[in-house]
Amino acid sequence: MTTITASTTAPPRARKLVGAGRRQWIGLLYVAPAVALVMVFFVIPLGMTAWMSLHNWPLMGEHAFIGLDNYWAILRDTRFWNALKFTGYYTVVVTIAIFAVAFPLAIFIEKPRPLTNLYRTFFFMPAVVGFASASLLWSWLLNVDSGLFSPAAYDLGLIDKKFNLLATFQPAFWSIIAMVVWKVAGFTMIILMTGLQSIPQDLQEAAVIDGAGPFARFRAITLPLMRRTLALALILSVAGSILAFDQFYIILRGGPRNQTLTAVYWIFNQSFVSFKLGYGAALSMVLLVILVALSLIQLWLLRKPEGLD
């Protein structure tokens, strides 16, 4: 009898163990495609980049191991640091500009009112255009001889001589800012809108009953409760701006007079104009470290304060 009980209780146990092992295997199988993608398209290329950055690696011919020489060269590469400085300046300006436009738009389209969907679509539209196509479009709009802005202003009699917007730094830089805001603000607006909509209506109503004005409500309720949304929008905007390349390459070619060379543009030039792939890889690693550090700082700044849940 005891032997029978033993034999009847044992199998379910064994089956359970096998089942747990199998479930784990099935779990692994489920994530395998994602892991494979990340390995092939992120981890291996990243490792390869790090490996290349330790070499003198020309586009053609033999490559040679040179240790950290590329990184020492970066320290003396004033044009890279200038490019990084410009990238930082651009990132600050464009991020402020995007939020200054996207936030009011988000507040405007958040509440249901007539034609809201039309406005949402309308504001979001430019976001679905690729950066390269948008840059080509604007490079035509900004053209002094056959474009839109300058010839239109001239034909309307606003200016008495056609003005080349792309010939000097300030107008060229602000033209790019305008283009990027036009292109990106709609996307940021949608992110901010979801944050606004997740704020419970009764909180706002309670504040109104307590006599809080719109600015007080915005500062004390809206902003704190949108912390996470803001963090997401901010990190996306900052990361996107630090990696800016297309618009400066296509519209300005880094001009006027190389004043709008961004960090990625400089990496591209070193790798594919000067054919120094190893040096380009080292620059990429430096930029990656900077970007990760900046993202961590932003997450830390926008972390949830103690005691608030």
Partner 1 sequence: MRNLIAKLALTAAVLGGGLGTAAADTANIWVRADGSNFMPRIVDAYNKAHKDQIKLDIIPNAEIIPKYGAAAAGGTAPDALSLDLIYTPSFAAAGQLEDITDWAKSLPYFASLSPAHVKTGTYKDHIYGLPFSADASVLIWNKKLFKQAGLDPEKGPTNWAEIAADAEKVNALGGNIKGFYFSGNCGGCNIFTFTPLIWASGGDILSADGSKATLDSPQLRGAIDLYRSMVKKDLVPAGAQTDTGANFFAAFAAGNIGISPSGAFAIGALNTQYPNVDYGVTFLPGKDGGWSSFAGGDNFVVTKGTKKLAVVKEFLDFAYSLEGQTILAKYGSLPVRGDIAKDALKDLDPRYQIAAEAMAKGKTPYSVVFNDLINSANGPWTQMINEVFFGDDVDGAIANAQETMQSIIDQAPQK
- In the complex, which residues of this chain contact partner 1 (CB under 8 A)? 58-62, 143-146, 161-164, 166-167, 253-258, 261, 265, 269, 272-275
Backbone φ and ψ for 168, nearest 5 degrees, come out as -125, 160
Of 272, 273, 92, 240, nearest in space to 173 by CA: 92
For partner 1, give the closer residue by CB, 52 or 226.
52
For partner 1, give the closer residue by CB, 174 or 272.
272
Q: How far is the CB of 265 from partner 1 (least distance, A)?
A: 8
Q: In this structure, what token pair is assigned to residue 199? A: 């704020």
Contact 145, 151 (CB under 8 A): yes
Q: How far is the CB of 264 from partner 1 (least distance, A)?
A: 13
Residues 6+ apart with CB under 8 A from 70: 53, 54, 55, 56, 278, 279, 281, 282
For partner 1, give the closer residue by CB, 237 or 260.
260
For partner 1, give the closer residue by CB, 178 or 207.
178
Of 256, 286, 282, nearest in space to 270 by CA: 282
Angle (CA) 302 307 308, round 5°: 55
The span from the CA of 69 to the CA of 54, in Å, is 7
Q: How far is the CB of 56 from partner 1 (least distance, A)?
A: 8
User: Quick one: CA dihedral 38, 47, 78, 166, positive or negative?
Assistant: negative
Kindly report whether the peptide bond that precedes residue 256 is cis, defined as omega within 30 degrees of 0.
yes
Q: How far is the CB of 175 from partner 1 (least distance, A)?
A: 11
Q: How far is the CB of 263 from partner 1 (least distance, A)?
A: 13
For partner 1, give the closer residue by CB, 195 or 280.
280
Q: Which amino acid is at 101?
A: V
Q: How far is the CB of 251 from partner 1 (least distance, A)?
A: 10
For partner 1, give the closer residue by CB, 103 or 265.
265
